[in-house]
Protein backbone atom coordinates (compact mmCIF):
# COMPACT_ATOMS: atom_id res chain seq x y z
CA UNK A 1 0.00 0.00 0.00
CA UNK A 2 1.40 3.40 -1.01
CA UNK A 3 2.20 6.03 1.60
CA UNK A 4 -0.49 8.67 2.16
CA UNK A 5 -0.17 11.89 0.21
CA UNK A 6 0.75 14.96 2.26
CA UNK A 7 -2.15 17.32 1.52
CA UNK A 8 -1.63 20.15 4.01
CA UNK A 9 -0.75 23.59 2.67
CA UNK A 10 0.11 26.90 4.29
CA UNK A 11 -0.76 30.32 2.92
CA UNK A 12 1.25 32.60 5.17
CA UNK A 13 -0.43 32.34 8.59
CA UNK A 14 -3.37 30.28 7.30
CA UNK A 15 -2.95 26.51 7.40
CA UNK A 16 -5.34 24.24 5.54
CA UNK A 17 -5.68 20.48 5.87
CA UNK A 18 -5.87 20.33 2.05
CA UNK A 19 -5.90 22.97 -0.70
CA UNK A 20 -9.62 22.77 -1.58
CA UNK A 21 -11.86 25.60 -0.36
CA UNK A 22 -15.49 26.31 -1.28
CA UNK A 23 -15.88 29.82 -2.66
CA UNK A 24 -18.01 32.61 -1.23
CA UNK A 25 -21.49 33.03 -2.62
CA UNK A 26 -21.73 29.39 -3.73
CA UNK A 27 -21.73 27.55 -0.40
CA UNK A 28 -24.19 29.49 1.72
CA UNK A 29 -23.00 29.84 5.30
CA UNK A 30 -21.56 26.33 5.22
CA UNK A 31 -24.10 24.37 7.25
CA UNK A 32 -26.53 24.28 4.30
CA UNK A 33 -24.14 21.83 2.61
CA UNK A 34 -23.72 19.58 5.64
CA UNK A 35 -26.37 17.08 4.40
CA UNK A 36 -24.42 16.61 1.16
CA UNK A 37 -20.76 17.08 2.07
CA UNK A 38 -18.59 16.06 5.02
CA UNK A 39 -17.39 19.59 5.77
CA UNK A 40 -14.45 18.23 7.76
CA UNK A 41 -12.97 16.82 4.56
CA UNK A 42 -12.50 20.27 3.05
CA UNK A 43 -9.56 22.57 3.46
CA UNK A 44 -12.12 25.24 4.24
CA UNK A 45 -15.02 27.28 2.95
CA UNK A 46 -15.76 30.97 2.55
CA UNK A 47 -19.22 32.03 3.66
CA UNK A 48 -21.54 34.35 1.74
CA UNK A 49 -20.41 37.98 1.67
CA UNK A 50 -21.31 39.69 4.95
CA UNK A 51 -22.17 43.37 5.38
CA UNK A 52 -22.78 45.44 8.53
CA UNK A 53 -26.53 45.36 7.93
CA UNK A 54 -28.62 42.68 6.20
CA UNK A 55 -28.99 43.16 2.43
CA UNK A 56 -31.82 42.05 0.14
CA UNK A 57 -29.65 42.04 -2.95
CA UNK A 58 -30.65 42.90 -6.50
CA UNK A 59 -34.07 42.39 -8.15
CA UNK A 60 -34.91 39.21 -10.05
CA UNK A 61 -33.99 37.72 -12.46
CA UNK A 62 -30.44 37.70 -11.20
CA UNK A 63 -28.93 34.49 -12.57
CA UNK A 64 -28.85 32.93 -16.02
CA UNK A 65 -26.92 30.21 -17.79
CA UNK A 66 -24.48 30.98 -20.56
CA UNK A 67 -22.37 28.64 -22.73
CA UNK A 68 -20.03 26.84 -20.31
CA UNK A 69 -20.87 29.30 -17.55
CA UNK A 70 -23.36 31.44 -15.72
CA UNK A 71 -24.04 35.10 -15.08
CA UNK A 72 -25.12 36.30 -11.67
CA UNK A 73 -26.12 39.63 -10.20
CA UNK A 74 -27.10 38.57 -6.67
CA UNK A 75 -25.91 41.82 -5.11
CA UNK A 76 -24.50 40.48 -1.81
CA UNK A 77 -27.80 39.34 -0.31
CA UNK A 78 -26.94 38.30 3.25
CA UNK A 79 -28.12 38.18 6.87
CA UNK A 80 -25.56 40.69 8.17
CA UNK A 81 -22.39 40.20 10.20
CA UNK A 82 -24.08 40.13 13.62
CA UNK A 83 -26.61 37.45 12.69
CA UNK A 84 -23.83 35.34 11.24
CA UNK A 85 -21.55 35.67 14.26
CA UNK A 86 -24.35 35.11 16.77
CA UNK A 87 -26.52 32.50 15.05
CA UNK A 88 -24.55 30.68 12.35
CA UNK A 89 -20.89 30.65 13.37
CA UNK A 90 -21.49 28.76 16.65
CA UNK A 91 -22.69 25.80 14.55
CA UNK A 92 -19.38 25.78 12.66
CA UNK A 93 -16.77 26.53 15.30
CA UNK A 94 -15.83 22.89 15.97
CA UNK A 95 -15.17 21.99 12.33
CA UNK A 96 -11.72 20.92 11.18
CA UNK A 97 -12.21 22.88 7.97
CA UNK A 98 -11.19 26.53 8.04
CA UNK A 99 -14.21 28.86 8.24
CA UNK A 100 -13.50 32.10 6.38
CA UNK A 101 -15.73 35.19 6.50
CA UNK A 102 -16.10 37.19 3.30
CA UNK A 103 -16.61 40.88 4.13
CA UNK A 104 -18.31 43.47 1.92
CA UNK A 105 -18.71 47.20 2.59
CA UNK A 106 -19.23 50.46 0.75
CA UNK A 107 -16.71 52.56 2.70
CA UNK A 108 -13.30 52.22 4.31
CA UNK A 109 -14.86 52.79 7.73
CA UNK A 110 -17.41 50.03 7.28
CA UNK A 111 -14.75 47.55 6.15
CA UNK A 112 -12.78 48.38 9.28
CA UNK A 113 -15.87 47.96 11.48
CA UNK A 114 -16.63 44.57 9.93
CA UNK A 115 -13.07 43.40 10.47
CA UNK A 116 -13.17 44.48 14.10
CA UNK A 117 -16.41 42.55 14.75
CA UNK A 118 -15.08 39.44 13.02
CA UNK A 119 -11.62 39.64 14.55
CA UNK A 120 -12.36 38.10 17.92
CA UNK A 121 -15.01 35.61 16.85
CA UNK A 122 -14.25 32.04 18.01
CA UNK A 123 -14.19 29.61 15.10
CA UNK A 124 -13.16 32.02 12.35
CA UNK A 125 -9.90 31.09 10.64
CA UNK A 126 -9.54 34.14 8.37
CA UNK A 127 -11.34 37.01 6.68
CA UNK A 128 -11.58 37.66 2.95
CA UNK A 129 -12.16 41.22 1.76
CA UNK A 130 -14.50 41.43 -1.19
CA UNK A 131 -12.99 44.32 -3.17
CA UNK A 132 -14.18 42.88 -6.46
CA UNK A 133 -17.96 42.31 -6.58
CA UNK A 134 -19.27 43.55 -9.97
CA UNK A 135 -22.92 43.45 -8.88
CA UNK A 136 -23.25 46.40 -6.51
CA UNK A 137 -23.47 50.13 -7.32
CA UNK A 138 -21.10 51.08 -4.49
CA UNK A 139 -17.96 49.43 -3.15
CA UNK A 140 -16.92 46.29 -4.97
CA UNK A 141 -14.97 47.07 -8.10
CA UNK A 142 -14.90 50.79 -7.30
CA UNK A 143 -12.36 49.83 -4.62
CA UNK A 144 -10.71 46.84 -6.24
CA UNK A 145 -9.75 48.61 -9.45
CA UNK A 146 -7.92 51.42 -7.63
CA UNK A 147 -4.46 50.72 -6.20
CA UNK A 148 -4.58 53.52 -3.61
CA UNK A 149 -8.04 52.61 -2.34
CA UNK A 150 -7.12 48.94 -2.18
CA UNK A 151 -4.04 49.69 -0.10
CA UNK A 152 -5.97 52.09 2.15
CA UNK A 153 -8.77 49.62 2.88
CA UNK A 154 -6.42 46.72 3.50
CA UNK A 155 -4.20 48.82 5.77
CA UNK A 156 -7.18 49.95 7.87
CA UNK A 157 -8.56 46.42 8.12
CA UNK A 158 -5.12 45.11 9.06
CA UNK A 159 -5.13 47.50 12.04
CA UNK A 160 -8.43 46.09 13.27
CA UNK A 161 -7.85 42.33 13.07
CA UNK A 162 -5.09 39.85 13.68
CA UNK A 163 -6.79 37.14 11.63
CA UNK A 164 -5.17 36.02 8.38
CA UNK A 165 -6.25 38.58 5.79
CA UNK A 166 -7.25 37.55 2.26
CA UNK A 167 -8.03 40.06 -0.47
CA UNK A 168 -10.22 38.94 -3.37
CA UNK A 169 -9.15 40.55 -6.63
CA UNK A 170 -11.21 41.51 -9.67
CA UNK A 171 -10.08 40.41 -13.13
CA UNK A 172 -11.64 43.54 -14.62
CA UNK A 173 -8.41 45.55 -14.58
CA UNK A 174 -5.47 46.04 -16.91
CA UNK A 175 -2.65 45.01 -14.53
CA UNK A 176 -4.04 42.74 -11.84
CA UNK A 177 -0.63 42.16 -10.27
CA UNK A 178 -0.45 45.87 -9.40
CA UNK A 179 -3.66 45.60 -7.40
CA UNK A 180 -2.18 42.55 -5.69
CA UNK A 181 0.97 44.51 -4.88
CA UNK A 182 -1.16 47.31 -3.39
CA UNK A 183 -2.96 44.77 -1.18
CA UNK A 184 0.42 43.41 -0.07
CA UNK A 185 1.63 46.89 0.86
CA UNK A 186 -1.51 47.35 2.94
CA UNK A 187 -0.79 44.21 4.94
CA UNK A 188 -2.67 41.41 3.17
CA UNK A 189 -1.48 37.86 3.80
CA UNK A 190 -3.17 36.09 0.87
CA UNK A 191 -4.78 36.95 -2.47
CA UNK A 192 -7.88 35.29 -3.96
CA UNK A 193 -7.64 35.30 -7.77
CA UNK A 194 -10.10 35.88 -9.40
CA UNK A 195 -13.66 37.07 -8.90
CA UNK A 196 -16.09 37.05 -11.83
CA UNK A 197 -15.67 38.78 -15.19
CA UNK A 198 -18.21 41.41 -16.22
CA UNK A 199 -20.61 40.06 -18.83
CA UNK A 200 -24.05 40.42 -20.34
CA UNK A 201 -26.61 38.18 -22.02
CA UNK A 202 -29.65 39.35 -24.02
CA UNK A 203 -32.87 37.45 -24.78
CA UNK A 204 -33.14 37.95 -28.53
CA UNK A 205 -36.89 37.22 -28.53
CA UNK A 206 -37.77 39.92 -25.99
CA UNK A 207 -34.69 42.06 -26.73
CA UNK A 208 -34.21 42.47 -23.00
CA UNK A 209 -31.20 41.63 -20.82
CA UNK A 210 -31.38 38.25 -19.14
CA UNK A 211 -30.54 39.91 -15.80
CA UNK A 212 -32.61 42.66 -14.22
CA UNK A 213 -29.45 44.70 -13.66
CA UNK A 214 -28.36 44.32 -17.28
CA UNK A 215 -24.89 42.97 -16.65
CA UNK A 216 -23.45 40.61 -14.07
CA UNK A 217 -20.49 38.46 -13.15
CA UNK A 218 -19.51 35.59 -15.44
CA UNK A 219 -18.23 32.41 -13.79
CA UNK A 220 -17.86 28.75 -14.67
CA UNK A 221 -15.62 26.78 -17.05
CA UNK A 222 -15.79 29.53 -19.69
CA UNK A 223 -13.45 31.71 -17.61
CA UNK A 224 -10.95 29.06 -16.50
CA UNK A 225 -8.15 29.75 -19.04
CA UNK A 226 -8.43 33.46 -18.27
CA UNK A 227 -8.29 32.81 -14.54
CA UNK A 228 -5.31 30.46 -14.81
CA UNK A 229 -3.41 33.15 -16.72
CA UNK A 230 -4.18 35.78 -14.07
CA UNK A 231 -3.21 33.44 -11.23
CA UNK A 232 0.15 32.97 -12.91
CA UNK A 233 0.57 36.74 -13.26
CA UNK A 234 -0.29 37.45 -9.61
CA UNK A 235 1.69 34.51 -8.19
CA UNK A 236 4.77 35.80 -9.98
CA UNK A 237 4.28 39.50 -9.34
CA UNK A 238 2.55 40.23 -6.04
CA UNK A 239 4.73 38.33 -3.58
CA UNK A 240 1.86 36.70 -1.65
CA UNK A 241 0.38 33.19 -1.66
CA UNK A 242 -2.62 32.82 -3.95
CA UNK A 243 -5.94 31.02 -3.78
CA UNK A 244 -6.86 30.39 -7.41
CA UNK A 245 -10.40 30.16 -8.68
CA UNK A 246 -12.44 30.34 -11.84
CA UNK A 247 -14.30 27.46 -13.47
CA UNK A 248 -12.85 24.60 -11.44
CA UNK A 249 -15.03 21.50 -11.90
CA UNK A 250 -12.69 18.58 -11.25
CA UNK A 251 -9.29 17.66 -9.86
CA UNK A 252 -7.51 18.23 -13.19
CA UNK A 253 -8.78 21.82 -13.20
CA UNK A 254 -7.48 22.31 -9.65
CA UNK A 255 -4.08 20.89 -10.60
CA UNK A 256 -3.88 23.41 -13.44
CA UNK A 257 -4.23 26.28 -10.96
CA UNK A 258 -1.64 24.77 -8.61
CA UNK A 259 0.85 24.36 -11.44
CA UNK A 260 0.25 28.00 -12.40
CA UNK A 261 1.30 29.09 -8.91
CA UNK A 262 -1.76 28.86 -6.64
CA UNK A 263 -1.19 27.36 -3.20
CA UNK A 264 -4.89 26.52 -2.79
CA UNK A 265 -8.02 26.69 -4.91
CA UNK A 266 -11.58 27.84 -4.39
CA UNK A 267 -14.45 25.96 -6.03
CA UNK A 268 -17.50 28.04 -6.88
CA UNK A 269 -20.04 27.53 -9.65
CA UNK A 270 -19.58 23.74 -9.61
CA UNK A 271 -21.28 23.67 -6.18
CA UNK A 272 -24.57 24.75 -7.77
CA UNK A 273 -24.95 21.67 -9.94
CA UNK A 274 -22.84 19.20 -7.96
CA UNK A 275 -23.00 19.73 -4.19
CA UNK A 276 -20.26 17.09 -3.74
CA UNK A 277 -17.82 18.80 -6.13
CA UNK A 278 -15.42 19.93 -3.41
CA UNK A 279 -14.91 16.52 -1.78
CA UNK A 280 -14.66 14.86 -5.20
CA UNK A 281 -11.86 17.29 -6.03
CA UNK A 282 -10.07 16.48 -2.75
CA UNK A 283 -10.22 12.77 -3.63
CA UNK A 284 -9.18 13.48 -7.21
CA UNK A 285 -6.15 15.49 -6.13
CA UNK A 286 -4.96 12.66 -3.91
CA UNK A 287 -5.42 10.20 -6.77
CA UNK A 288 -3.52 12.49 -9.16
CA UNK A 289 -0.61 12.72 -6.72
CA UNK A 290 -0.48 8.95 -6.29
CA UNK A 291 -0.54 8.33 -10.04
CA UNK A 292 2.23 10.84 -10.60
CA UNK A 293 4.23 9.77 -7.52
CA UNK A 294 3.90 13.13 -5.84
CA UNK A 295 4.18 12.53 -2.10
CA UNK A 296 3.51 16.13 -1.09
CA UNK A 297 0.95 18.23 -2.94
CA UNK A 298 3.08 21.33 -2.34
CA UNK A 299 5.47 20.02 -5.00
CA UNK A 300 2.84 20.95 -7.60
CA UNK A 301 2.74 24.66 -6.67
CA UNK A 302 4.20 26.69 -9.52
CA UNK A 303 5.62 23.55 -11.14
CA UNK A 304 4.43 24.26 -14.68
CA UNK A 305 7.04 23.39 -17.33
CA UNK A 306 7.54 26.63 -19.25
CA UNK A 307 8.87 25.16 -22.48
CA UNK A 308 6.92 22.72 -24.67
CA UNK A 309 8.50 19.31 -25.26
CA UNK A 310 10.77 19.04 -28.34
CA UNK A 311 9.29 17.86 -31.61
Residue 92 lies in a domain: yes
pLDDT at res. 134 = 86
pLDDT at res. 138 = 65
**pLDDT tens digits along 101-149:** 999 999 999 999 999 999 889 999 999 999 998 888 766 677 999 999 9
133 has catalytic annotation: yes
Residue 307 lies in a domain: no
Domain of residue 194, CATH code: 3.20.20.70
Q: Could you tell me the residue range of the domain that residue 27 belongs to?
A: 9-300
Q: Which pLDDT band holds residue 36 (cuts at 50, 70, 90)?
A: very high
Q: How many domains does the chain have?
A: 1
Helix H or strand E encompassing 16: strand 14-16
Per-residue pLDDT for 310 more than 80? no
Among residues 281, 238, 201, 257, which one has the least CA distance to residue 21? 281
Query: What average pLDDT does the segment 42-55 reach?
Result: 98
Strand segments (E) across 113-222: 126-130, 165-168, 190-193, 197-200, 202-203, 208-209, 215-219
pTM of the model: 0.96
Residue 2 lies in a domain: no
Residue 1 lies in a domain: no
Residue 306 lies in a domain: no
Q: Which pLDDT band holds residue 178 (cuts at 50, 70, 90)?
A: very high
For the chain, what is the mean pLDDT?
A: 96
List 64, 133, 250, 289, catalytic entry: 133
Amino acid sequence: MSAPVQMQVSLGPLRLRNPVVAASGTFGYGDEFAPFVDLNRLGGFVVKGLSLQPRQGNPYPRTCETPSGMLNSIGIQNIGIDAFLNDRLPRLKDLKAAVIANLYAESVEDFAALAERAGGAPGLAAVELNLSCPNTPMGGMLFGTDEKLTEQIVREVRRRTGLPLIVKLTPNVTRIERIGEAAARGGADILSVVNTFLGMAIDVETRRPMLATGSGGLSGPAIRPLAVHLVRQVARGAGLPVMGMGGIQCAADAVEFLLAGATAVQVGTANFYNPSATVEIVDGLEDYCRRHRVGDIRRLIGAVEENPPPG
